Amino acid sequence: MQLNIDNILLVGSLLLLISIFAGKTSYKFGVPTLILFLTVGMLAGSDGVVGINFDNPHIAQFIGIVSLNFILFSGGLDTNWKTIKPVLKEGIMLSTLGVFLTAITIGLFVWWVTDFTIYESLLLGSIVSSTDAAAVFSILRSKSLSLKENLRPTLELESGSNDPMAYVLTISFLTLVQSPEKGLWSVIPMFFMQMILGAVAGFGFGRIIKWIINKIRLDFEGLYPVLVIVLMFITFSATDFAGGNGFLAIYISAVYLGNQDLIQKKTILKMFDGLAWLMQIVLFLTLGLLVFPSQISPVMGIGLLISAVLIFVARPLSVFISMSFFKMKLRRKFYISWVGLRGAVPIVFATYPLLAGVEKADMIFNLVFFISVTSVLIQGTSLGVVAKWLKVVSPEKVKEIAATERFVYDFPKNTMEEVEISGSSRVTGKKLVELGFPSNAIIAMIKRDDTYLIPRGTTELQEKDKLVILAENEEGLRAANDCLLGSLDI
């Protein structure tokens, strides 16, 4: 089948629909949704049952870059600074030194067991060196794993921030593959320029975007997410044009924005969450269409060997060396080592050698695809089991508290107050709908004994209930207090 203007919307919509339904049932069988999306794309591709002819790495790379913008930006918006601050040093070490060590270890192994040159081997190692944000975010959150000792923020911080390092290494070694006479030292200035400019631009654009969002007054609520999308692409493109790392810039700017008070913040967060899922599906479908399964078979043997070394040697080695600078329990290091999921990002990076016309580009692409699939299948399906085996799962009560804290954090508030109902309160026994609460404040959560309740209009207040009141501003909090004055002991 040949895609054209007449059928691309119909075919694309049907593939998206099939992917959504496949993702809905995937975890009943313990299969990550991302693998299902890839499978749907492969079945629809040239070697599949549908036979869609798609062999355009230029378009695939463009779709990959756009999708990664949304995925990284959404992940940054959803990152709570209070949770990552205690693990900031660990996360940065994993996303820099850890990625570098993984790339070198895999590169040297590939050089040893294949006929690749040293630079070709290091290029392959660089491409698969980073954990995939889309894979880690989606699998951890869909499995609702509540992990001990700040493990989850560490893993999400690493996966969200280590793609820039892998990108810089990929571009550096790709340059050396094309011009080996330049030498390794020639790419070091580019490396530091990419990382430093990316970090500075990310923070700078984050502050500018916050100012624009809060100062401009748009007539329609739905325009605010559109404004943020435009500013996100400007951040990436301007940073990339200046010679910095655009992926690092958008992630840092998103982390900054996600922890600021913004107009229509809840609308923006919800919109980007949906767009991130859409981009994940589109990205994996596109990469599934691009690959030819018949070309994967010849490299399965060496691919399985490289995957084994990556999962059981390179990743643990890089984690243990990176974390040797910090006091960390052994079981925590082992679990971080296991959550070394590869996914769409390495496959997107593998299109760069294809477009550059590197001699072994096709083999590199097929190896990277196979390594990514095996990583998600082996590690992604066993995250929960390994977490329980290593005893890094939090108790159920902690899960409930974490969920309520996430809800409170997501609300775009300026003020918050907790009140407790005394025995003499006249609202005891009354329903929330009877309180006449102001529209610019809400009762976000009720703690009753050791249970956390989601407030509803029919919820009846009881003695010793603790209410969390959230307001958009001080005026809203005063209105809430006026409504409750004489009724609650504040």
Beta carbons of 321 and 101 less than 8 angstroms apart = yes
Q: Collapsing DSSP states into helix, strand and coil, what is residue 148?
A: coil
Residues 447, 314 within the same domain = no
* Whether residue 183 sits in one domain with residue 258: yes
Phi, psi of 472 (to 5 degrees): -70, -25
**What domain range is 153 assigned to?**
8-395
Reported as a single tens digit per residue, the pLDDT across 335-347 is 999 988 887 788 8
Secondary structure string (H, E, C) spanning 451-482? EEECCCCCCECCCCCEEEEEECCHHHHHHHHH
Of 228, 236, 223, 234, nearest to 211 by C-alpha is 228
Residues 435, 300 share a domain:
no
Residue 403 lies in a domain: no
As a whole number, mean pLDDT of residues 98-124 equals: 95
Cβ-based neighbours of 113, under 8 Å, separated by 6 or more: 302, 305
Within-domain flag for 404: no
Q: What is the token pair recorded at 121? A: 């081997």
Three-state DSSP class for 441? strand
Question: Are 353 and 466 in the same domain?
Answer: no
1 in a domain, yes or no? no
pLDDT of residue 205: 96
Could you tell me the sign of the dihedral formed by the alpha carbons of 179, 183, 189, 192, in that order? positive
- In this prediction, residues 104-112 reach a mean pLDDT of 96
Share of the chain above pLDDT 70, in %: 85
> How far is CA 90 from each of CA 96, 133, 252, 322, 402, rounded to the nearest angstrom?
10, 17, 16, 8, 22
Instruction: Say whether both 390 and 431 belong to one domain.
Output: no
- C-alpha to C-alpha distance for 32 and 48, rounded to whole angstroms: 21
pLDDT over threshold 50, residue 349: yes
Prediction pTM value? 0.75
For residue 302, pLDDT over 60 is answered with yes
pLDDT at residue 145 in the model = 60
Residue 489 lies in a domain: no
Residue 211 in this model has a pLDDT that exceeds 90: yes
Task: Among 345, 364, 395, identify where a domain stops.
Answer: 395
The string of pLDDT tens digits covering residues 26-81 is 555 445 667 777 888 888 877 777 777 777 888 988 998 999 899 889 888 888 88
Are 306 and 428 within one domain?
no
Judge contact between 129 and 169, C-beta under 8 A: yes
Whole-number pLDDT of residue 400: 45
**Half-sphere exposure of residue 466, counting CA atoms within 13 Å on the CB side?**
8
In this structure, the answer to whether residues 141 and 286 fall within a common structural domain is: yes
Alpha helix positions (H), 7-150: 8-26, 33-44, 57-77, 81-84, 88-93, 99-113, 118-127, 133-142
